[in-house]
A and B are shown apart, each in its own frame.
Chain A
Amino acid sequence: MSIIVSNISKSYKKVKALQNISFNVKSDEIFGLIGPDGAGKTTLFRILTTLLIANKGAASIAGFDVITDYKSIRKNVGYMPGKFSLYQDLTVQENLQFFATIFGTTLEENYDLIKDIYIQIEPFKNRRAGKLSGGMKQKLALCCALIHKPKVLFLDEPTTGVDPVSRKEFWEMLKRLQGKNITILVSTPYMDEAALCDRIALIQDGQILEIATPEAIVKKYSKAIYNLSANNMFELINSLKEYKHNHSVYPFGEFVHYTDCRPDFNPTELKVFLESKNLTNIIIERTTATIEDTFMELSK
């Protein structure tokens, strides 16, 4: 086991940021923490990277205890905070060299590890980090976090605020890193990224709702789920919420996801109801559940 977390709780004054969090991450696994803003993901990262001390519970990283052995952990992990935390007034190359020196290594020594990522930012190596685009910044931050070949990599929302293409590239890089003996704990608010992890933990309000592989989590969703659309989406949602048999209603991309609480749900009956609400162009079709649907169901 690379990361062992047992019964971690943490509160700030009145707010309970984390309550009895437990999970394990195997070596070379990509483990995703999926949850909305304010779920406690950053607090958990800070506890595991020895920056905060939990009120209760214990945790160990690569065999080192987060409290007693914090110095060993700091030598062996790479951490990329949610906020871009490199020196904006230093160039790409200066940032990399600085982080290489403080970890007692050089750019050349672990070049093969960061090569794939570095060649993408190399054309800008003399540009100040503050002047890079969002995607480039994240790639540079990942390079800096990897430069000392850490055993465990902590990525706190690495793709927040990054364009879809860069996000996709970023995840491809993580997949490639997996083959190089690095355990990755990554958090994200994007449900579509969750499917790319080996295992995920759904977290909300400081509590873990579910831990499983993405496939298993989707399979747990037992209800029939429907895509709905109509000429007026806002009215559609309001009408569906008024419909007495509704189980859940929430917008999902260009559709509204709807589930019914009866096992013998008849879409035609719903269509008649919606037409009585003056809605037109009504489409009702069966769809498959996603991780987001599971999350919505679990967090109800």
Chain B
Amino acid sequence: MKRFIGFIKKEFYHIFRDKRSLFILFGMPIAQILLFGFAITNEINNVDIAILDHSKDAATKEIINKIAASKYFSIHQFIEKEDDIEAVFKKGKVKAVLNFEKDFSKNLIKENNAKIQVITDATDPNTANTISNYVNAILQNYLKEQNKSSAQVYQIVSQTHMVYNPELKSVYMFVPGVMTIILMLVSAMMTSISITREKELGTMEILLVSPLKPIQVIVGKVFPYIFLSIINAIVIVVLSIFIFKMPVQGSLFLLAMESVLFIITALALGILISTISATQQTAMMISLMGLMLPVILLSGFIFPIASMPLPLQIISNIIPAKWFIIILKSIMLKGVGLQYVWKETLILLGMAVFFIGLSVKKYKIRLE
């Protein structure tokens, strides 16, 4: 036991004396969560639009007012002729142009049919889509108000109710993803680097020629990172609750336990990587390419798994991050208990046991 404590003490010296690893450990989680929370978002806010109004009557004026009043759009400029549309897009600031036809109000009343052309800048397809949806919603809203006065009988109104994230805040989606990435990075990459550093500097040779058992070396190496990862998880949850008002509907205890389980899985992966790489650089490359990319691309964090081609959907099952993100979302947003996520938990547990077993088996008691 004394040996073990001595070993852990040494590990903490390494971590706290290496400014780079300290930065990765504590700077990155905060930077990432803020970055994803504030900068990377698919909500639209105050999008600049231009108006080309050929009729300039009561109806168009009211619609324009409604659009200007919404927080999604701000009217950047009014243009007078079709030729100007291309020009304003080319300047780049305006993302959409609303083109009202001539005699808009008259057509609407007499023929019950008036036309607006919504032209969007689709260089960013997602934003373009969202803009046209929002404009449509505002127009529908306007029509509904008009129809109240003139009694129309048949009407289908779809009432959309977005559960678990009624305001469609993208931060709700990013927090679980970022938490997964950070825990994976800290646990897997940092442990694999710290073990291969001993190999690279030759200190592993001395550790091998000592009475320390392999399991003592591994656990001693890994333990500080379990501790630091838990602190990171707490920082992320606290930040997202207080800065982004992210709800945690479910039990915090369950959240903590699931996080520890994921951390252990990631650590086991880190040990496994260190057994197959001889230098810190290799370990880092394998961690980044082999772990980070799948976590970002295949875990369902950014791209929905259901819309992936079948082979990728199958591959995504072997990525621990996928299951952890499902668990996180269920606990944080849906507030469910273990009875709803036991399957995912069991899968994660299985992976942890498998990776630990494999890395203990692959750990070499000699140099080759």
Chain A positions near chain B (C-beta within 8 angstroms): 46, 49-53, 70-71, 74-75, 77, 79, 81, 83-90, 94, 97-99, 101-104, 144
B223 to chain A, nearest CB (A): 15
A77 to B207, CA, bound (A): 12
Q: Are B210 and A103 in contact (CB under 8 A)?
A: yes
Q: Are A81 and B212 in contact (CB under 8 A)?
A: no
A102 to B3, CA, bound (A): 5
Q: Which of B2, B3, B5, B366 has a CB less than 8 Å from the CB of A52?
A: B366
Q: Are A85 and B205 in contact (CB under 8 A)?
A: yes
A87: chain B residues within 8 A (beta carbon): 10, 13-14, 201, 203
Q: Are B202 and A84 in contact (CB under 8 A)?
A: yes
Q: Which of B206, B209, B212 has a CB less than 8 Å from the CB of A50?
A: B209
Can you name 17 extra interface pairs (CB under 8 A) apart from A87-B10, A90-B10?
A50-B209, A51-B209, A52-B368, A70-B365, A74-B209, A74-B211, A83-B202, A85-B202, A85-B205, A90-B13, A94-B13, A99-B206, A101-B2, A101-B6, A102-B6, A102-B207, A102-B212
B167: chain A residues within 8 A (beta carbon): none
Q: Are B211 and A102 in contact (CB under 8 A)?
A: yes
A59 to B6, CA, bound (A): 33
Chain B interface size range: 20 to 34
Known: A86-B203, A89-B13. A49 touches B209 (CB 8 A): yes
A97 to B205, CA, bound (A): 18
Within 8 A of A (CB), among B182-240: 201-203, 205-212
Q: Are B18 and A89 in contact (CB under 8 A)?
A: yes
A290 to chain B, nearest CB (A): 33
B90 to chain A, nearest CB (A): 56
Question: Does B157 interact with chain A (Cβ within 8 Å)?
Answer: no
B202 to chain A, nearest CB (A): 4
Within 8 A of A (CB), among B332-368: 365-368
A97: chain B residues within 8 A (beta carbon): 6
A8 to chain B, nearest CB (A): 15
The 7 tightest CB contacts between A and B, nearest first, are: A101-B6, A85-B202, A51-B367, A79-B209, A83-B202, A89-B17, A75-B211
A52 to B208, CA, bound (A): 11
Question: Does B36 interact with chain A (Cβ within 8 Å)?
Answer: no
Question: Does B26 interact with chain A (Cβ within 8 Å)?
Answer: no
Q: Are B366 and A51 in contact (CB under 8 A)?
A: yes
A84 to B206, CA, bound (A): 10
A74: chain B residues within 8 A (beta carbon): 208-211
The residue on B at minimum CB distance from A97 is: B6
Question: Does B244 interact with chain A (Cβ within 8 Å)?
Answer: no
B198 to chain A, nearest CB (A): 9
A154 to chain B, nearest CB (A): 8
Known: A52-B368, A89-B13, A103-B211. A98 touches B6 (CB 8 A): yes
B203: chain A residues within 8 A (beta carbon): 85-87
Q: Which of B6, B13, B201, B208 has a CB less than 8 Å from the CB of A51?
A: B208
Within 8 A of A (CB), among B3-28: 3, 5-7, 9-10, 13-14, 17-18
How many inter-chain contacts with C-beta < 8 Å in the A-B complex? 78
B2: chain A residues within 8 A (beta carbon): 101, 104
B6: chain A residues within 8 A (beta carbon): 97-98, 101-102
Q: Are A89 and B368 in contact (CB under 8 A)?
A: no
The residue on A at minimum CB distance from B205 is: A81
A99 to chain B, nearest CB (A): 8
B18: chain A residues within 8 A (beta carbon): 89
* B interface majority secondary structure: helix
A81 to B207, CA, bound (A): 11
Known: A50-B209, A51-B367. A81 touches B202 (CB 8 A): yes
A25 to chain B, nearest CB (A): 18
Q: List 26 A-B contacts (CB under 8 A).
A: A50-B208, A50-B366, A51-B208, A51-B366, A53-B366, A74-B209, A77-B209, A81-B202, A81-B205, A81-B206, A85-B202, A85-B203, A86-B203, A87-B10, A88-B201, A89-B13, A89-B14, A89-B18, A90-B10, A90-B14, A97-B6, A98-B6, A98-B9, A99-B206, A101-B5, A102-B6
B274 to chain A, nearest CB (A): 17
A85 to B201, CA, bound (A): 6
B209: chain A residues within 8 A (beta carbon): 49-51, 74, 77, 79
A234 to B7, CA, bound (A): 56
B365: chain A residues within 8 A (beta carbon): 70
Known: A83-B202, A85-B205, A102-B212. A46 touches B10 (CB 8 A): no
A298 to chain B, nearest CB (A): 30
Q: Are A79 and B206 in contact (CB under 8 A)?
A: yes
Q: Are A71 and B10 in contact (CB under 8 A)?
A: no
A70 to B367, CA, bound (A): 13
A87 to B207, CA, bound (A): 11
The residue on B at minimum CB distance from A12 is: B368
A101 to B2, CA, bound (A): 7
The residue on A at minimum CB distance from B2 is: A101
A70: chain B residues within 8 A (beta carbon): 365
A70 to B209, CA, bound (A): 9
A156 to chain B, nearest CB (A): 10
A102: chain B residues within 8 A (beta carbon): 3, 6-7, 207, 210-212
The residue on A at minimum CB distance from B10 is: A98
B207 to chain A, nearest CB (A): 8
A90 to B13, CA, bound (A): 7
The residue on B at minimum CB distance from A144 is: B206
A101: chain B residues within 8 A (beta carbon): 2-3, 5-7
A71 to chain B, nearest CB (A): 7
B159 to chain A, nearest CB (A): 63
A52: chain B residues within 8 A (beta carbon): 366-368
A127 to chain B, nearest CB (A): 13
A183 to B165, CA, bound (A): 73
